[in-house]
Amino acid sequence: MSGCLFCRIVAGEVPSKRAYEDKDVVAFHDIAPQAPVHVLVVPRVHVATLADAPLDGAAPSIAAVMTSARRAADALGLTSRDGYRLVVNCGERAGQSVDHLHVHLLAGRAFGWPPG
């Protein structure tokens, strides 16, 4: 997906402040942080939304992306004592603005419930 912003960030064609990476994902700091820590965990392989992600083991694996999100939290030194939140907006109506699956990793403040 040559025109996709997050594919271009994964490829290094658009600069980002990387926080973590592994074979499945690149994680980088959000350009408009909504918390003191706001990192986007982005699979290297393009898929538009969570609802489009394959369930048959093909990449990007939802399980691998979530595992990598947890690894990113660990790499940032975040614990359950600190508290952190993972968010996936699926579709425009849920707040998704970039059509490449990503997990928001948010930390550094208290979070309310229900979400907005």
Residues annotated catalytic, as ranges: 102
DSSP 21-86: E-SSEEEEE-SS-SSSEEEEEEESS--SSGGGS-SSSPSSPHHHHHHHHHHHHHHTT--TTT-EEE
Nearer to Zn ion, 5 or 35 (CB): 5
What binding mask, one character per residue, do residues 64-103 give for Zn ion by CB under 5 A, x or -?
A: ------------------------------------x---
78 binds, among Zn ion, ligand 5GP, none (CB under 5 to 8 A by kind): none
Decide: is 4 part of the binding site for Zn ion (CB under 5 A).
yes
